[in-house]
Amino acid sequence: VDTDTVVFSQKPDNMWYAGSLAELMTFLIADETIQEPDTVTFKVEQSFIRGLPYTDGCLDKFVGQTLTAYDLMAIMLLTSGSDAAYALASLSTDGDTKAFVDLMNERAALLGCDSTGYASPGMHETSAQYTTCRDLYKLYMTLLKNEHYREIMKLKEYTPEGLDADTYTVKVETSILNP
């Protein structure tokens, strides 16, 4: 990683379904567009969750609570939570998910991820969301330079500030961060 030297590569340009890896780009776009993620808030409403095209239940326990963008980032990465990804997209583009996806695809192009395409901020159950190992490497190297990403990567669990740990802690389980 320090020298940016590839020591092994096998089929780095084969396309595959991106799945919840789209949340990595969602994190990057949200962190770049939300100037103060510790102060920008989102009230989790049941109506928001019900209106999502895909829901995995990561925000269900937070209905009625107000979370910061940073809380949503941590919850999304620790749980691979598409619900939180959609909430971050909503915060970033005033509820315009299509505009957020456009930002994801534009940022991928700027990174040189020529074989990556996004269709939603989170999990998408079709081949409309795809990438390659080479492109994922480019995204990951960018994320490693991001302070918030590095902070969250170190966590095994997270409780939003001011909330009861017994009720509102999320843990690394089926996550893209699970070692």
- Burial call 115-148: b when 16+ CB within 10 Å, e when fewer: bbbbbbbbbbeeeebbbbebbbebbeebbeeeeb
Supply the pLDDT for residue 139: 96
CA-closest candidate to residue 22, choices 173, 139, 174, 157: 139
For residue 137, give both structure tokens. Answer: 């490497």
CA-closest candidate to residue 134, choices 1, 12, 11, 5: 12
DSSP SS3 for 30: helix
Asked if 73 and 27 count as a contact pair (C-beta separation under 8 A), the reply is yes
Residue 28 has pLDDT above 70, yes or no: yes
Percent above pLDDT 70 for the chain:
94
Q: What does the pLDDT look like over 38-79, one tens digit per residue?
A: 999 999 999 999 998 878 889 999 999 999 999 999 999 998
- Whole-model pTM: value is 0.92
Residue 33 has pLDDT above 90, yes or no: yes
Q: What does the pLDDT look like over 2-16, one tens digit per residue?
A: 888 888 889 999 998
In the predicted model, what is the mean pLDDT of residues 127-132? Answer: 88
How far is residue 170's CA from residue 105's CA, in Å, rounded to a whole number? 29
Of 25-29, 49-53, 108-112, the range with the lowest mean pLDDT is 49-53
Supply the pLDDT for residue 3: 86
